[in-house]
Structure 1
Amino acid sequence: MAGFRPHVPAPVDIAMIAHPSVTLLIDLSDGGDLAYDAHGRHGRGSVAAGLLPGELRANGQVGEVLEIRLEPTVAAFLLGASAGLMGTVVPLEEVWGRAAGEAEDRLRAAGSWNERFTTAAEILTRLTRKSTRPPVDREVAHAWRRTLGTRGRVRVDSLADEVGWSRKRLWARFRSQLGITPKRAARLVRFDHAAHLLAAGRTAAAVAAESGYFDQSHLHHEAKEFTGLTPAAVAVAPWLAIDDVAWAAPAAASGI
């Protein structure tokens, strides 16, 4: 999780960098100041953003915002976030219902960011316990976590062998439950690693080589597809700057 508070009340226009998670952006302003623009869809207020194949921009007179990132296997259980959410941006109330407004009210009333983070973890835990959706298959969860652990450099055939499924079955179950194919998931995870290397000041050529791209032009292509930005623009994207200081859920809550 991460909390955002502008230094001065000025309009902003920020590109959100694609990330291998389902992201909740909870608008804590009084007037629904967070405006978003993604894939031709415009709106205001809190949103749930899936595994983005393109660009999401947050803009407007943005006040305080709480960002929560959910592992896709968790989001599928908690939000029912399958193909209907992955790759899209929807108002939070579409996936949370009445609980979205109640959560916003509680989070606005909290006296500090730490209290908000704790409250958010409590809300997610309660929603998880109340969920009647089946969890994703263990094989799918294993394949996702292996993809993360290898930074996207694992073959689908290898994942299928590890879980004892055919390649076709893994592909179908992974896509139906997480809304993304194993191959595209690997590309997104690999790009996320590359994006953070760019943000750390590495050159595009060095990042391409370290991340397993064919060459610098291959990295450029992936950056444009996932974010609409060049590698140079990704390197200075403000959204990446918060990852090293974001509030991590305590061990007791990390399994939700």
Structure 2
Amino acid sequence: MIRNTPPGTVLGAPAAPLRGYVLGYRGYRLALRQPLRRLEVPTDVVTVALAFEGTMSLTDAVSPAAAASFGSVAAGLRRTATVAEHAGALHGLAVSLTPQGAFRAFGPLAGELGGHWAEAGDVLGPRLRALTDRLADAPSWPARFAMLDGYFGALFAYGPDWDPSVHWVWRQLRHSHGLVPIGTLVEGTGWSRRRLELRFREHLGLAPKQAAGILRLQRTLNALTAHEDHPSEDHRSGHRPTGADLATRCGYYDQSHLDRTFRAMVGCSPRAFLAARRTAAALPGPAERITDRVSGRVTSTVLDPGGSGS
């Protein structure tokens, strides 16, 4: 039995002991009159979405191919954006994991997820059905989030740890927003460049250079949307950063390099992405149509609002 949860989106924080591994929970129950398409940009987040009702169609935004349809899905770190579409009715929840949390929960399968989507059952195994049923029958979103705390807390208690050198590399990449030279990472670990890439792929599913690109993109997206969301701060300072300023700050050679990289990863220009966010923000209707999935990260925008995909 699925409880009669009111339509909307609810964000939940994990219990304190889990916060190095779980970034947050997001419950949703959508009952829209038309399909919804969202562009999900690359982030340093591993997502597990558990469906109570409805399915999603996922397509690579940069290299479109035949779409894959999922109920419950696990998505590893991806270098390119994803277009996610559903018919308008969707009920379930998503768990946002750090890469360390994904490895501790799923072991080597976390590395195999890199760049891919997979049926959540391929990661969680036969326990997925029982977990999803229990979550669906819970009386409230807080009860579901508490259930997830217990479930993932048990996985983390006995899961494998990252190699200390991989942890150090990831910390350097995170602190520098992807700008630390690979040579510095090689020297810091004492590994060869090939071994560094192999070990990093085993843990995160991507090479260090690819992970650095995602972190640079996230810094760029945060800077772009900050200027959109707080234009008065630019006015008070008397200076709105130019594209060249932004490119330099975020580790690109110039504005052209930023634009090419953005298109190669997101599938559109920065200008088009911001325009879609502005249009989505102006739409009447529920906030879940425009909410980013993870606090502190720019994760998505609605596509074609007002059209067939609004």
TM-score (normalised: structure 1)? 0.82
Distance 1:174 1:241 in 2: 27
**Which residue does the alignment assign to 1:37?**
59
Which residue is 1:229 aligned to? Answer: 268
User: Residue 166 of structure 2 aligns with which residue?
Assistant: 140
Q: Which amino acid aligns with 1:64?
A: H
Partner residue, 1:251: none
Residue identity in the other structure for 2:91:
E
1:56 aligns with 2:82: yes
- Structure 1 unmatched ranges of 5 or more: 247-256
> Quick one: which of 205, 210, 214 aligns to 1:179?
205
Whether the 8 Å contact between 2:51 and 2:93 is mirrored in structure 1 is yes
AA partner of residue 259 (structure 2)? H
Q: How does 1:93-172 map to 2 (within 5 A)?
A: 93-131=121-159, 134-172=160-198
Amino acid at match of 2:102: A
SS of corresponding position for 2:139: coil
Unaligned segments of structure 2, at least 5 residues? 1-23, 229-240, 278-288, 298-310
In 2 relative to 1, CA 92–119 (structure 1 residues): closer, same or farther, beyond 3 Å? Answer: same
| Equivalent of residue 219 in structure 1, options 258, 267, 284 | 258
User: Given residue 13 of structure 1, which amino acid in structure 2 is its aligned partner?
Assistant: R
For residues 172-191 of structure 1, the C-alpha deviation after alignment (integer angstroms, 9 at most, x for no partner) is 21123322111111111111
**Which letter does structure 1 place at the counterpart of 2:254?**
D
Give 1 or 2: higher strand fraction. Answer: 2
1:19-34 alignment runs, 5 A limit: 19-29=43-53, 32-34=54-56
Aligned residue pairs, count:
242
Q: Which structure is larger by alpha-carbon Rg, 1 or 2?
A: 2
Q: Distance in 2 between matches of 1:179 and 1:245?
A: 23
Q: 1:215 to 1:230 in 2, by over 3 A?
A: same
What RMSD, in angstroms, separates the aligned Cα atoms of the two structures? 2.6
Query: Aligned in 2, Cα 1:97/1:171: closer, same or farther, shift over 3 Å?
Result: same
Shift of 1:82: 4.6
Q: Give the distance between the partners of 2:41 and 2:123, measured in 1 at CA.
A: 22
TM-score, normalised via structure 2 length: 0.69
Cα deviation code 1:18-47 (max 9, x no counterpart) = 111211122232xx3333334534112111
2:242 & 2:95 partners in 1: Cα distance? 29
